[in-house]
Amino acid sequence: MNIFIQGQLIWIVFLIFILGLAFQLTQFFKLTRKKEWAYPPLEIKSQKKTAGQWVASCLASLNGTLWKTDPLMTVVTSAFHVLLIAVPLFLLGHNILLNQSWGLSLWSLPESFTDTLTLIVILCTAFFLMRRLLLARVRAISTFYDYLVLLIAVAPFLTGYFAYHQWFDYDTVMTLHVLTGEIMLLTVPFTKLGHMLYFFLYRFLIGSEYSYARGARAW
């Protein structure tokens, strides 16, 4: 069973993950074939600013954004999402396995550093959980599914952290680490975690400074 989980299943999961994302990608562009008129980008010729004015204008541009309304959540969610992708990609252990398997790998971050980053991901998830439990506005729209998605996202990091520190039975923890990672990859294209892809795709619909390709696509 362990050999299957850490062997063939990984390939099946990667295949489903890539095909699932490709399906969502093609569906999106198929559904948004229609084009609508979009505002041309504004060309603002501004006067040369002093350093102080530049800082002031940067701070003013944050008004009305999430940085202003919820700075803590903005920092936590930004750190969480960047690390969720970056830590597994630049982890030494993963790159060694990749090198053994394919003879190529990405560059790796120091192990003690990725260990701290993993802990940050876990703490960010704890923050999300507390937010979901304690804030009335988040609780109002939370279902069992939301807690499950949170668990799916953090489980590979939690088991990876346990495995690195060799807590509990190493073999069992490693099997769980691979299994939870596979579950996460499997669920990305078909569940709420699909916002990983749609966060970028929706920018093709938004006609403003946050848009991609003029944001002229329409459903």
Partner 1 sequence: MENSMSDQGLKPVDTKQISEMLGRKKGKMKRYLSFCAHCSLCAESCFLYMKYHKDPQYMPSYKAINSLGKLYRRRGKVDRKLLTEMKGIVWRNCVLCGRCYCPIGIHIPSMIAFARSILRSQGVYPQLDEVSLESWL
| Helix spans in 32-110 (H) | 51-61, 66-69, 71-89, 92-102
Nearer to partner 1 among residue 32 and residue 95 (C-beta): 32
Residue 27 binds to partner 1 (criterion: CB under 8 A): yes
C-alpha–C-alpha distance, residues 129 and 80, integer Å = 13
Nearer to partner 1 among residue 49 and residue 68 (C-beta): 68
Place of tokens 């998830």: 125
C-alpha–C-alpha distance, residues 104 and 106, integer Å = 7
C-alpha–C-alpha distance, residues 176 and 167, integer Å = 13
User: According to CB under 8 A, which residues from 78 to 137 bind partner 1?
Assistant: 135-137
Among 211, 195, 192, CA closest to 203: 211
Q: Residue 157 Cβ, how far from partner 1 at the closest point, in Å? A: 18
Among 57, 184, 162, CA closest to 118: 162
Q: Is 177 left (phi over 0), alpha (psi -120 to 50) or beta?
A: alpha
Q: Residue 105 Cβ, how far from partner 1 at the closest point, in Å? A: 32
Nearer to partner 1 among residue 86 and residue 196 (C-beta): 196
Strand partners, 218: 34
Nearer to partner 1 among residue 105 and residue 191 (C-beta): 191
Residue 183 binds to partner 1 (criterion: CB under 8 A): no
User: According to CB under 8 A, which residues from 157 to 176 bind partner 1?
Assistant: none
Residue 62 binds to partner 1 (criterion: CB under 8 A): no
Of these, 34, 141, 144, 209, which contacts partner 1 (CB under 8 A)? 141
Give residues in contact with partner 1 (CB under 8 A).
Answer: 27-28, 31, 66, 69-70, 73, 77, 135-143, 146, 191-192, 194-195, 198-199, 202-203, 205-206, 210, 219
